[in-house]
A and B are shown apart, each in its own frame.
Chain A
């Protein structure tokens, strides 16, 4: 009878997903808790599949300027990778090339390959929206969409075809919670997002990016516009989130990189000078330029 019935009714798109969250228990110890999360659709890729990002021989020219010179890079999975270097060395361009936001820049020419899970996103002509959805971008200045808090988080889901209100409410709650914002805004979800403080706006942007289930989080100096307390909250969030996402972070403050980086990429004038695990690069830099930069000779 049941099978007969289900032949006529489309299967409900549901999926149980497991996410991990670190929390402090009553004794002050940190415990890693497993949360079963009801993800009401499977339009989105599962997060626990491997996420692999390889940049190979990437060259970016904007007009006559050679911005990125022969960049080769592997982003480690589920770790925080910090890209450091002096200003104007192409950190932001590299980040924007990773989700092809450079497409809208005038006079840009990109050669080379970027593989995401084995798929070349520069040359293969794959769907640009699908690629971008996998890469959540947090910009330098928080940039909420001109709509309510709820709609900000729901926007991404709506454009990917989730219109059911109950599902949307569930998704919005979950991701606002993941960005540590739910308790602060749960009573005013309908107010415009611009009314939030700038630190809250940045967390809202994070929630909005997470809501479309990216595999990577690209953060472009995500804390540089924020006050120390807000940036500390964001940093802590990143540390929590690396259990489920691979995070690529451009940062200008060396101390931030020291605090949270697992993996460091040092760039200078469009080239990658040194890359390696944070411990290794910070304590034992191989290259002369890296030594100088870390000692504060230039910034």
Chain B
């Protein structure tokens, strides 16, 4: 056999092996969590607040963490979209291709993108001390919003940069102002917005470091923005560091819930993305 065909075969094998390895990671992670968490999993786990002796293995659940996580992620996703869509629209429509402002702005977002979440947490903590605030839902929401804005902007900008200028010219020649093209631009980059939202939600819901100092932890569901809020990653963290076996298993149950939420979001996100991209001009 000629060498080049052998080469082709070997590298094809290697690629398949790499693909399967990644797949195996996914399976083993889900399996480990499911196996360990399934025993501790029960309806009362996801429907009850922690009871008095919850952290030494007595009854209760971690509804507080589920609700807290959803509050923080929901609010910060909305806030993040409200801030990042105008940014991306401005970069795409108002600034010229080789504008210096856009260049500097993009570098800034890349820097923000690379900052670890614990640094955001520490930064948020400092600010909160400066203003004399205690750990609260609001603090968590703001810091998580800061955390996901660069993700939003980066992934939307990737799509917006491919934006065909012909579409803008077409809208302008109908007499649209630059702002009036927003309807067109949003529809064209809608798949990008959906993907960005998915990525950001995934990152936001799973991040423990940024909410540790800012949102705090509590056994009750927060009823106002100024109260502390529990989150799922922290629920996993606190329970896993317990020496008692039942509590450790509950940590895996919490991890399972977290994984299921992320999985459900990405699957529904795929459907939504497909729906949104039907109008997109190729």
State the A residues within 8 Å of B (CB): 99, 101, 104, 106, 129-130, 132-133, 135-137, 139, 141, 143-148, 155-156, 159-160, 192-194, 205, 208-209, 212, 218
A-binding segment of B14-22, B39-47, B131-139, B181-189: B181-189
Q: Once bound together, how far apart are the Cα atoms of A209 and B282, in whole Å?
A: 21
Taking a contact as CB atoms closer than 8 A, the residue among B98, B169, B180, B184 that contacts A137 in the complex is: B169
State the B residues within 8 Å of A (CB): 96-98, 164, 166-177, 180, 183-184, 187-188, 190, 278-282
Taking a contact as CB atoms closer than 8 A, the residue among B97, B166, B169, B281 that contacts A194 in the complex is: B281
Pull 14 A–B residue pairs with CB atoms less than 8 Å apart, ordered by A: A101-B169, A104-B96, A106-B98, A137-B170, A143-B166, A145-B170, A146-B184, A146-B187, A155-B174, A156-B175, A193-B279, A194-B281, A212-B174, A218-B173
Residue of chain A at shortest CB distance from B180: A159
Q: Given A146-B281, A160-B175, A139 and B184 touching (CB < 8 A)? A: no
Q: Which residues of B contact A135 (CB under 8 A)?
A: 173
Q: Given A106-B96, A146-B281, A159-B180, A101 and B187 touching (CB < 8 A)? A: no
Report whether B167 and A143 are in contact in the complex, using a CB–CB cutoff of 8 Å. Answer: yes
Report whether B281 and A143 are in contact in the complex, using a CB–CB cutoff of 8 Å. Answer: yes
The interface centre, meaning the residue of B164, B174, B282 with most chain A CB atoms within 10 A of its CB, is B174
Q: Given A106-B98, A143-B166, A148 and B173 touching (CB < 8 A)? A: no
Report whether B176 and A146 are in contact in the complex, using a CB–CB cutoff of 8 Å. Answer: no
Q: Which residues of B contact A193 (CB under 8 A)?
A: 279
Taking a contact as CB atoms closer than 8 A, the residue among B168, B174, B188 that contacts A133 in the complex is: B174
Q: Once bound together, how far apart are the Cα atoms of A122 and B238, in whole Å?
A: 68
List the 6 closest pairs (A to B, CB-CB), nearest first.
A133-B175, A137-B173, A156-B174, A129-B175, A143-B166, A146-B187
Residue of chain A at shortest CB distance from B177: A129
Q: Which residues of B contact A101 (CB under 8 A)?
A: 169, 172-173
Taking a contact as CB atoms closer than 8 A, the residue among A104, A130, A146, A159 that contacts B280 in the complex is: A146
Chain B proximity of A248: nearest CB distance (Å): 13
Q: Which residues of B contact A147 (CB under 8 A)?
A: 183-184, 187, 279
Residue of chain B at shortest CB distance from A131: B175
Q: Which residues of A contact B177 (CB under 8 A)?
A: 129, 159
Report whether A132 and B167 are in contact in the complex, using a CB–CB cutoff of 8 Å. Answer: no
Report whether B180 and A145 are in contact in the complex, using a CB–CB cutoff of 8 Å. Answer: no
Q: Which residues of A contact B176 (CB under 8 A)?
A: 129, 156, 159
Q: Once bound together, how far apart are the Cα atoms of A56 and B94, in whole Å?
A: 30
Taking a contact as CB atoms closer than 8 A, the residue among B166, B173, B279 that contacts A99 in the complex is: B173
Q: Which residues of B contact A144 (CB under 8 A)?
A: 281
Q: Which residues of B contact A145 (CB under 8 A)?
A: 167, 170-171, 184, 187, 281
Report whether B188 and A146 are in contact in the complex, using a CB–CB cutoff of 8 Å. Answer: yes
Report whether B175 and A192 are in contact in the complex, using a CB–CB cutoff of 8 Å. Answer: no
Report whether B279 and A192 are in contact in the complex, using a CB–CB cutoff of 8 Å. Answer: yes
Q: Given A141-B166, A146-B279, A208 and B172 touching (CB < 8 A)? A: no
Q: Given A132-B173, A145-B170, A145-B171, A106 and B278 touching (CB < 8 A)? A: no
Q: Once bound together, how far apart are the Cα atoms of A155 and B170, in whole Å?
A: 11
Q: Once bound together, how far apart are the Cα atoms of A101 and B166, in whole Å?
A: 11
Chain A proximity of B141: nearest CB distance (Å): 32
Q: Once bound together, how far apart are the Cα atoms of A193 and B282, in whole Å?
A: 12
Chain B proximity of A117: nearest CB distance (Å): 16
Report whether A159 and B184 are in contact in the complex, using a CB–CB cutoff of 8 Å. Answer: no
Chain A proximity of B162: nearest CB distance (Å): 13
Chain B proximity of A218: nearest CB distance (Å): 8
Report whether B167 and A146 are in contact in the complex, using a CB–CB cutoff of 8 Å. Answer: yes
Taking a contact as CB atoms closer than 8 A, the residue among B97, B166, B180, B279 that contacts A106 in the complex is: B97
Residue of chain A at shortest CB distance from B190: A146
Taking a contact as CB atoms closer than 8 A, the residue among B173, B187, B280 that contacts A209 in the complex is: B173
Q: Which residues of A contact B166 (CB under 8 A)?
A: 139, 141, 143
Q: Which residues of B contact A141 (CB under 8 A)?
A: 166
Q: Once bound together, how far apart are the Cα atoms of A209 and B280, in whole Å?
A: 20
Report whether B169 and A130 are in contact in the complex, using a CB–CB cutoff of 8 Å. Answer: no
Q: Which residues of B contact A132 (CB under 8 A)?
A: 172-175
Q: Which residues of A contact B180 (CB under 8 A)?
A: 159
Chain B proximity of A126: nearest CB distance (Å): 13
Q: Once bound together, how far apart are the Cα atoms of A155 and B180, in whole Å?
A: 10
Report whether B167 and A194 are in contact in the complex, using a CB–CB cutoff of 8 Å. Answer: no
Q: Which residues of A contact B98 (CB under 8 A)?
A: 106
The interface centre, meaning the residue of A139, A159, A192, A212 with most chain B CB atoms within 10 A of its CB, is A159
Q: Which residues of A contact B164 (CB under 8 A)?
A: 143
Q: Given A137-B169, A143-B164, A145-B170, A159 and B281 touching (CB < 8 A)? A: no
Q: Given A106-B96, A159-B180, A209 and B174 touching (CB < 8 A)? A: yes
Q: Once bound together, how far apart are the Cα atoms of A194 and B96, in whole Å?
A: 27
The interface centre, meaning the residue of B167, B168, B170, B183 with most chain A CB atoms within 10 A of its CB, is B170
Q: Given A130-B175, A192-B278, A205 and B184 touching (CB < 8 A)? A: no
Q: Which residues of A contact B168 (CB under 8 A)?
A: 104
Chain A proximity of B87: nearest CB distance (Å): 20
Q: Once bound together, how far apart are the Cα atoms of A160 and B151, in whole Å?
A: 36
Q: Which residues of B contact A159 (CB under 8 A)?
A: 174-177, 180
